[in-house]
Structure 1
Amino acid sequence: MLDIIIEGGSYPDYGKGTFAAGDLGIKDGKVVEIGNIKTPAQRRIHAAGKIVSPGFIDIHMHEEDFLQEGEQFVIADMMLKMGVTTCLGGNCGVQHQDLEVFKDTINRLGGSPVNYLMLVGYNAYRKKVGAGPYTKADAEQQKILLDKMKQQLKQGAYGFSFGIEYDPGMDIDEIMNVLKSFEDKNLFVSVHYRSDAAKSIEAIKEMVRIADQSQMKFQISHLSSCTAMGWMTEALNLINQEMDKNPKLNYDTYPYCAFSTEIGSAVFDDGCFDIWGKSYDSILLTDGEYRNRYCDKELFEKVRKEHPEMLVVAFVMNEEEIAQAIANPYGMIASDGIINHGKGHPRAAGTFPRVLGKYVREDKVLPLIDALRKMTLEPAKRLNLNKKGCIFEGCDADLTIFDPENVKDGADFSESDLPPEGIDYVIVNGKIAVDHNQIKNNRAGRFISYEMMPEGSI
């Protein structure tokens, strides 16, 4: 007997570039039958008119901070409700706790809402060794940092992330001191650029140099917040050209014309508003007594001084350039979701359904099959998740069932945690995790450790 049969739906056949009709039979966490299934099952899900997609894979998000906010899942629950079944955390150089602590907490809680993979956040350890944001780490600090990177890889990290904009004192030499020390060229490197807007093209060229020197899988993080201020066309031309030469290079992007980060970070150093061509009133506060207030100069400076770790939203990007980054043949969809105290940017709860609703159905920026490929198959290949991201007999039963005529994001900038519409079911490792926006099981996910792959994987 099967555990679940999903009958009457259509699923993406990426090899043919179209959708196939067929029932899916699930048992013991795997899809074991595809077709006109006659085997009995404990549960039947009727999916006529619906898309049965591989579970969405968020290749760029920011995991829970168990040390500061308690042993509870917040952002992972948001991810789950919008159809995400696997997440890669530890991006932008940010890592909230050592990997051993993160894994132990998941184990102690009996699992997680999603399958979790992690990067080592270089900036987090840089701060711990006393390297200031505007100065290069000295030789002794770099030695300690390299040891920390090695320790975290032994705990199962998939690679490294660097937030150059947050610690502009780091240069290519400091970054390469880490990357050149590892022979495994299938490790994943995620980099938050040095500069945006008018300086974004030079920042991309710097990342390309690092990618070429490292020979590792290299991800340019959240391209939209780097170049969607008038430089997207030039950026995409450059990246596409470089990707044609180096298939290990790629990028991710999210579907909003506003970014979010801590107000005390170097992102908001003097001159930022001149670079963006914006003013203080483009900054929305997200927490505490100031929640949902836009800044003036006085309020901005007050919060930056008194609450430097508050997440703020900066409305500085152009909508048409967001669409460009999404529609480009290369690239992946990712949320860059980050949450403090349950609040933040709506991308943590709405990214994937927003792409499906706004950019696929309404604006027709790209076909549905291509959007799903950017959310599933491409990140799965990137992360060596050979049993995820595509539906075939024997694949992991991580699935998202949605109505293509109704799916859309629900979260907005005033209520950033509202769930989406049109997602009927989310299945994680063969277990129904979400049933019409109601979480039924948020412990079906597990931590996935990196395993060395054969050279040549991209």
Structure 2
Amino acid sequence: MKKYIFYLLFSLICASTTAQGQPEFDLVLSGGRVMDPETGLDAIRNVGISGNKIAAISTGALRGKRVLDVTGKVVSPGFIDLHVHGVSNTEQEYQLHDGLTTALELEWGIGPLKAWYAQRKSNALINYGASVCWPYERFRALEKFREQAEQLKESSRLEPYTLINTIKQITPSYTEVPDDSEMRQTLKNIEESLQAGGIGIGIPIGYLPQTNPTELYEVYKMAGGSDALLFTHVRTPDMSGLQEAFSNAILTRAPLHIVHLNSMALGNIELALNMLKDATSQGHRITSEVYPYTAASTALESAMFDPGWQQRLGMSYEDLQWVATGERLNKDTYEAYRKKGGVVIMHMMQPEWIKTGLRAEGIAVASDGMMYAPLAHPRTAGTFTRVLGKYVREDQALDLMTALKKMTLIPARILEDIAPAMSQKGRLQEGADADITVFDPATVSDQATFEGGLEFSKGVTYVLVGGALVLDQGNTVPNLYPGQPIYGKFRE
């Protein structure tokens, strides 16, 4: 009996010592299905967070100041969106409920970049960043528009120079051909904005379709010489537009990312994917993305709707939906709203094109999410949860690990050469950034619709940004802004 009591006391002392010796983490995610697309880990594990890093992934119990039981939930790297146009906290809250921990404006970019980064500092729900906006940089290089550019620079202190207000303000400059001096100034402006932190260069030539091919080629040459990643909306949504982008990138060795391949290739998406595969197999750094909706969205006053748009896009007036009211357009309302200016939804794609793009190896998921409006395109709020709910769970078009890879690891790898911070994101591993999304695979789904407008997605339970719990049991944590800037490698 005495011997039994001795061993009992000894065991209790050892257990106490072990418990006291075990580190206490700031937060523990307990009992979840931990999935890491880079290592292939897919198992029940406990995750310990210390500061802004993942400190432990263990089969054993972990001590934490707060322990969250996530049994039955998937614990994933935080989702990364390469392509958003809504960059305020209003849009970021929808993105947060969609599982995002990083959302970047890379197709169009923002100007002036240095001022915008300063405005967002310590005031973002999730991580943020932008590319250099080529349309803005060429605009302020043109002598004819110098005075107007200075005025717009001042106004940008109140409103960032984003997609919609850029189109509205500088459309008249798109047909101007820069002389040699203005071309050199454009390239100098781009270089200065890269040094301000720009993540590569946004070249949305589709919105400047009359721009001289020589001018565009010079930007490609600059990018090839400096290894600056280009993000392009191609000149026209057809194979000629894609072939221009491919040939420019291949000839100049510029790294290139083609945005929303589904709405650029349309019915030729299989051919576009084959071209992309052939280019990468030959060592060219060309990547792309898709979003999981059959409609696009942009500004009605943009050059995309210049005469001949019906033939170019394969659309009619009735395929356009006016975001302000939700109505479908006719000839009269089209003409009135084009003069007024505003955002339309463009119903222009077939469901099988989306599945083809999503299934393709190496293709990222990105939203092209627009600025907030009650009836904005649902991709603004539901892109990533739609992939998980519809295309993984319901349609079984791709498996869960593949889907997560497209939303985490692939976008991180696309960016890590131009934005070094991304090498620590998109992974769920010890030492990686604690950007983590926890969701219920049985219920995760998008709720936003074309008819009903924006709604928060369902099924995303917790989101951590740099170790900070920003979404707690499906609710936004108030007055917490842990989002960090993502800068390009040229920042000085």
Q: Which amino acid is the alignment partner of residue 7 of structure 1? A: S
**1:57-456 superposed matches below 5 A:** 57-64=80-87, 73-91=89-107, 93-95=108-110, 97-107=111-121, 110-128=122-140, 129=142, 130=145, 132-181=173-222, 185-196=226-237, 200-228=238-266, 230-287=267-324, 291-305=325-339, 307-308=340-341, 310-340=342-372, 344-384=376-416, 385-440=422-477, 442-451=480-489
Give the CA deviation at 1:183. 6.8
Residues 18 and 369 in structure 1, CA contact (< 8 A), matched pair in contact too: no
Residue by residue, what CA displacement relative to the aligned partner does 1:234-265 show, whole Å, maximum 9, x if unpaired? 22222222222235111011000000000001
Matches of 1:376 and 1:443 in 2, distance apart? Answer: 21
Instruction: Give the Cα–Cα distance (whole angstroms) in 1 for the partners of residues 373 and 389 of structure 2.
Output: 28
State the 1:165 CA deviation: 1.3
C-alpha separation between the residues in 2 aligned to 1:166 and 1:333?
22
| Structure-1-length-normalised TM-score | 0.90
Q: 1:79 deviation in Å?
A: 1.3
Q: Does 1:30 align with 2:71?
A: no
- Quote the RMSD (CA, aligned, Å): 2.0
Counterpart amino acid of residue 164 in structure 1? I
User: For residues 127 and 134 of structure 1, what CA distance do their matches in structure 2 show?
Assistant: 11
Percent of counterpart pairs with the same letter?
A: 30
TM-superposed CA distance for 1:176, in Å, is: 3.2
**Structure 1: gaps (5+ residues):** 65-71, 454-458
Contact 1:13 1:20 in 2 (8 A): no
* CA contact 2:223–2:255 (8 Å) conserved in 1: no
2:27 alignment partner AA:
I
Checking the alignment, whether the CA contact within 8 Å between 1:81 and 1:434 is kept in structure 2 is yes
1:6 aligned partner: 29
1:344: Cα distance to partner? 2.2
> Partner of 1:278: helix, strand, or coil?
coil
In 2 relative to 1, CA 90–176 (structure 1 residues): closer, same or farther, beyond 3 Å? same
Q: Which amino acid aligns with 1:270?
A: P
Determine if contact 1:185/1:217 at 8 Å carries over to the other structure.
no
The answer (yes or no) to whether the contact 1:25–1:37 under 8 Å persists in 2 is no
Code of the residue aligned with 1:113 in structure 2: it is L
Please say which of residues 254-263 and 73-82 is displaced more in the overlay: 73-82
Structure 1 259/163 Cα, relative in aligned 2: closer, same or farther at 3 Å?
same
Superposed CA deviations along residues 277-336 of structure 1, whole A, max 9, x for unmatched, are 33111110112xxx111101100010001x22x111010111110111111112110001
Report the 3-state secondary structure (helix = DSSP H, G, I; strand = E; otherwise coil) of the residue aligned with 2:185: helix
Q: Distance in 2 between matches of 1:74 and 1:343?
A: 14
Of 15-24 and 51-60, deviating more is 15-24
TM-score (norm. length: structure 2): 0.84
- How far 1:15 sits from its partner (Å)? 4.5
2:326–2:375 Cα contact (<8 Å) kept? no
Give the counterpart letter for 2:112 in structure 1. D
Asked if 2 retains the 8 angstrom alpha-carbon contact of 1:428 and 1:445, the reply is: yes
Q: Secondary structure at the match of 1:9?
A: strand
**Alignment gaps of 5+ in structure 2:** 1-23, 146-171, 417-421
Residues 223 and 253, structure 1, Cα contact 8 Å, conserved in 2: yes
Secondary structure at the aligned position of 2:424 is classed as: coil
Greater Rg by CA = 2
Aligned to 1:69: none
Q: Secondary structure at the match of 1:364?
A: coil
1:43 to 1:186, Cα distance in 2 relative to 1, 3 A: farther
SS at match of 1:120: strand
Residue pair 2:117, 2:129 contacting (<8 A) in 1 also: no
Q: Which amino acid aligns with 1:127?
A: F
Describe the shift of the 1:183–1:219 C-alpha distance in structure 2 as closer, same or farther (beyond 3 A).
closer
**Equivalent pair of 1:24/1:37 in contact (CA under 8 Å):** no
Residues 343 and 148 of structure 1, relative CA distance in 2, 3 Å threshold: farther
Paired residue total = 433
1:20 corresponds to which residue?
A: 43
* CA distance in structure 2 between the partners assigned to 1:355 and 1:136 by the alignment: 42
Greater share of helix:
2
Contact 1:6–1:24 (Cα < 8 Å) also in 2: yes
Q: SS of 2:75's equivalent? A: strand
201-210 or 131-140: which moved more? 131-140
Contact 2:205 2:211 in 1 (8 A): yes
Structure 2 SS opposite 1:123: helix
Q: 1:37: Cα distance to partner? A: 4.3
Task: Indicate conservation of the 8 Å contact 2:253/2:284, yes or no.
Answer: no
Q: Give, in whole Å, the separation in 1 of the partners of 2:89 and 2:375.
A: 13
Distance in 2 (CA, whole Å) between partners of 1:125 and 1:49 is 49
**Structure 1: distance between partners of 2:68 and 2:201:** 40
